[in-house]
Amino acid sequence: MSSAVVDGIGLLVTNDPTVGEGPLGLVRNASVVFQDGVVIAVGPAGQVADRRIDAGGRCVIPGFVDSHTHLVFAGDRGDEFAARMAGRPYEAGGIRVSVAATRAATDDELRTLAAARRAEARRAGITTIEIKSGYGLDVAHETRCLRVAGEITPETTFLGAHVVPPEFAGRIDDYVHHVSTDMLDAVAPHARWIDAFCEVGAFDAEQCRQVLAAGRERGLGLRLHANQLGHGPGVQLAVEMGCASADHCTYLSDADIAALAGSDTVATFLPATDFSTRQPYPNARRVIDAGATVAIATNCNPGSSYTTSMSFCIALAVRDMHMTPEEALLAATLGGALALRRDDVGVLCPGARADLVVLEAPSYTHLVYRPGVPLVHAVVQRGIAG
């Protein structure tokens, strides 16, 4: 396959401090050469390759790594959203509305909807994406949703323990057993990760531990929805179980922060969710200053965060969670990669995937300075420009 170069990069973010300035590894007047979808050289402008893409002096960043989405679903919950904005609180139970719509959809409908959202996310600069199940909640539909997700990404996550489906109403322990045995048997070939929603109204710590332990026995990696709607045991459980990521982290005690800082569990913030549910924004500053690794993800889903805009999440993280623009960009790229235990994305250095975003801006700072403005000029994913 022929090589290609993105040349004329005014400001390149590599996320590799060994090749550039500061934690973002900044290089000015740079170019990036790649072949077969992999970066083969990062250096000054003017490197030669078979094909040339001119960045025109713009800023180039690694593609966003979105480590938390629920892209496979049917139905629209815009009315529920509007009611919430008029004062109705967010509750986990709204998930069941999406379960009913998702079960009722045909395979083709689900596939078309998910593909459209994936395309939208790509236009927003997301080049690596995780997708959870969790709107099927029975063997057939969870398997189907993971199959559809698997056609889009290898980062598929089994979230049978999202909420208790109607057929198990009042029998939560039976449902947890089902998820941890028969359902897991069926879906395991289609999932890389297992996840659970540890929250009042969803599953308690013991139930989540049971689900995660069963997944680990099957060879799945572990993740956890933790401390979204209030203080709870989720973050501590995620650290105890060695989860790759504890997601939401909206309510963090000092002990939670200390646990995260003493572990390699990534604290994944979902700013658009706190926006869309009117939760208070967590103070990411405290978490970073304590030494924990942080990520930012969109949590794209029909109930609590129906966005694919990582830029929007970054802007909120800076304005309302008190990250710096540099920390927020790192969290949305390298942080996401760490939350997925990936070392081939979230960074632009030889050997990494050729996933990059050309911004319609001279600096990544514009992701925050220009909130709401679509700043993605071009996306290169595995070396393919679009």
Which residue stretch of 102-110, 145-153, 307-315, 378-386 sits at the interface with a second copy (rule: CB under 8 A)? 307-315
Residues 266-285 that bind a second copy (CB under 8 A): 272, 275-276, 278
Which residue stretch of 12-20, 75-83, 225-233, 250-258 sits at the interface with a second copy (rule: CB under 8 A)? 75-83
- Binding to a second copy by residue 207, rule CB under 8 A? no
Confirm if 38 and 307 have CB atoms less than 8 A apart.
no
- Binding to a second copy by residue 307, rule CB under 8 A? yes
Confirm if 11 and 26 have CB atoms less than 8 A apart.
yes
Give whichever of 104 and 373 is closer to a second copy, judged by the CB atom.
373
Site string for a second copy, 80-119 (x = CB under 8 A): -xx--xx---------------------------------
Residue bearing tokens 């815009």: 78
Task: Quote the CA–CA distance of 5 and 356 in Å, as a whole number.
Answer: 12
Which of 61, 126, 21, 24 has the alpha carbon at shortest distance from 362? Answer: 61
Q: How far is the CB of 123 from a second copy (least distance, A)?
A: 8
- Binding to a second copy by residue 366, rule CB under 8 A? yes
Q: How far is the CB of 49 from a second copy (least distance, A)?
A: 30
Q: How far is the CB of 82 from a second copy (least distance, A)?
A: 5
Give whichever of 26 and 39 is closer to a second copy, judged by the CB atom.
26
- Binding to a second copy by residue 374, rule CB under 8 A? yes
Task: Quote the CA–CA distance of 265 and 286 in Å, as a whole number.
Answer: 16
Q: How far is the CB of 10 from a second copy (least distance, A)?
A: 12
Which of 379, 358, 349, 385 has the alpha carbon at shortest distance from 129? Answer: 379
Give whichever of 104 and 213 is closer to a second copy, judged by the CB atom.
104
Which residue stretch of 104-112, 187-195, 230-238, 366-374 sits at the interface with a second copy (rule: CB under 8 A)? 366-374
Q: How far is the CB of 59 from a second copy (least distance, A)?
A: 10
Site string for a second copy, 116-155 (x = CB under 8 A): ----x--xx-------------------------------
Residues 321-340 that bind a second copy (CB under 8 A): 324-325
**Which residue in the set 23, 150, 350, 371 belongs to the binding site for a second copy (CB under 8 A)?**
371
Give the total of residues touching a second copy (CB under 8 A).
38
Give whichever of 286 and 370 is closer to a second copy, judged by the CB atom.
370
**Which residue in the set 111, 177, 218, 370 belongs to the binding site for a second copy (CB under 8 A)?**
370
Question: Which residues of the chain form contacts with a second copy (CB under 8 A)?
Answer: 76-79, 81-82, 85-86, 120, 123-124, 272, 275-276, 278, 306-309, 311-313, 315, 318-319, 324-325, 362-363, 365-366, 368-374
